[in-house]
Structure 1
């Protein structure tokens, strides 16, 4: 099966031109838990690669978790916060979710569409992130029923830096061939206590956004060069194309975590 492989050299290859990619975050700093915990989650719409401009979020339409095939609505757990970005402040959300049982927790956020004035369009990034407790796999590679989503083909909570990550892009449950997938490194991870970014650990690549393209089966593969959080966004892959009389880009976003092999 043919895939597109993007291999980057090393973290030293990160240079100075901004990627300027919008990425919705569903962020928690530790995605592999050994003990039960009250998990802090931050929902931020931001430019995490360059620690850049943050965008105001409206009230999310949906927020839920899937555990062992069962979906739990978490919308009532959301609380508004202010994210103090390096360039500006923006409206964001947080939640605290108890994690007690062993297995995979798939968190999914359907944010309100965001109006991007510079392009005169709305953006809605349907975002998934993953947490595992106890090292027990229980369904990380299953879709959760979003209108569009990326389903991981590698366990998304413990990818080895220097290896690859693969995913399949779905729209209304069917693979999407020939779609561009933008790739983002979370160079500045949020401080969950202070609601502000930490110091960036890398700079954007020259030449704009990193991009992979899905093959005939809707799959893509990317070489992960550096430990940390990596985001993948398929722009306009969703079935909804209009909101309030304007163009809507309904995007599928997924975040995965890579570690150095020691």
Structure 2
């Protein structure tokens, strides 16, 4: 991927009153910037982290891997089931590790099994990415990892400044997705890595429902980042697969970024 030209048009974020709180698959690590080499703990949780809402049971993923300097490493053997407790309920989740040794980017990817959402009578499959970095050397963050649908960041996703903007591009099978609906989630509650419980939320969701942006004709969207922390972007139903077990499937692309306050 080549980052050639600045965006001249992108849709602003808006709140849709009819939108419900967002489902988001987390690949949570305490830090996105890794100071020392070693195995970095990660937890896979299907949750509503903005309001510390419902935890959905996560089945064992189809794929769990990391890409570093263009090389893919399978991490499935290191996954172990856990129970994660949110404020409303507990649900099945997983813990694993990411081997971080050399300097550079580590693009962590989860391809989950479709989840059946009874209230909507549809399946949801969130193909999820987060980028970790060691020693500030950028290597892989802007490159696709070969998913059927994914969000390609145009800003380094692990050191976005609060108060600035983040721009992504929704791509499905190598082509931009125009008019994709992107739900935006702040991780106001975070998983406690020691107890497998949720921390108390540090912010409340805005009135009017989920925060949503739309991609433009070339698949781009831009969002102003109001505060530091983890932010998630989910391009809903942007993937090429639309059915599973005879029911509608929303194949979503999810990308998590880390924003920081300037000190």
TM class by shorter chain equals: over 0.9
Q: Check 1:245–1:19 CA distance in 2 against 1; reply closer, same or farther (3 A cut).
A: closer
Structure 1 residue 59 displacement after superposition: 1.3
Aligned to 1:14: none
What is residue 254 of structure 1 aligned with on the other side? Answer: 255
2:112 aligned with 1:111, yes or no? yes
Where does structure 1 lack aligned partners over 5 or more consecutive residues?
9-17
Once the two structures are superposed, residues 17-54 of structure 1 have per-residue CA deviations (whole angstroms, 9 ceiling, x without a partner) of x9511000011010101211220100000000000000
RMSD between aligned residues: 1.3
Q: Is residue 6 from structure 1 mapped to residue 7 from structure 2 by the alignment?
A: no
* Counterparts of residues 77-116 of structure 1 (less than 5 Å): 77-116=78-117
Task: Confirm or deny that 1:33 pairs with 2:34.
Answer: yes
1:199 corresponds to 2:200: yes
Rounded to whole Å, the distance in 2 between the matches of 1:62 and 1:261 is: 36
TM-score, normalised with respect to structure 1: 0.94
> Between Structure 1 and Structure 2, how many residues are aligned?
253
Displacement after TM superposition at 1:97 (Å): 2.1
What is the TM-score with the length of structure 2 in the denominator? 0.94
Q: Deviations over 1:233-253 (max 9, x none)?
A: 011001111111111100000
Q: How does 1:100-179 map to 2 (within 5 A)?
A: 100-179=101-180
User: 1:42 & 1:172 partners in 2: Cα distance?
Assistant: 28
Q: What are the equivalent positions in structure 2 for 1:210-249 lying under 5 Å apart? A: 210-249=211-250
Q: Which residue of 2 aligns with 1:53?
A: 54
Confirm whether residue 43 of structure 1 aligns to residue 44 of structure 2: yes
- Structure 1 residue 6 displacement after superposition: 3.4
Q: Quick one: distance in 1 between partners of 2:11 and 2:248?
A: 29
Q: Distance in 2 between matches of 1:218 and 1:154?
A: 15
5+ residue gaps, structure 2, are 1-7
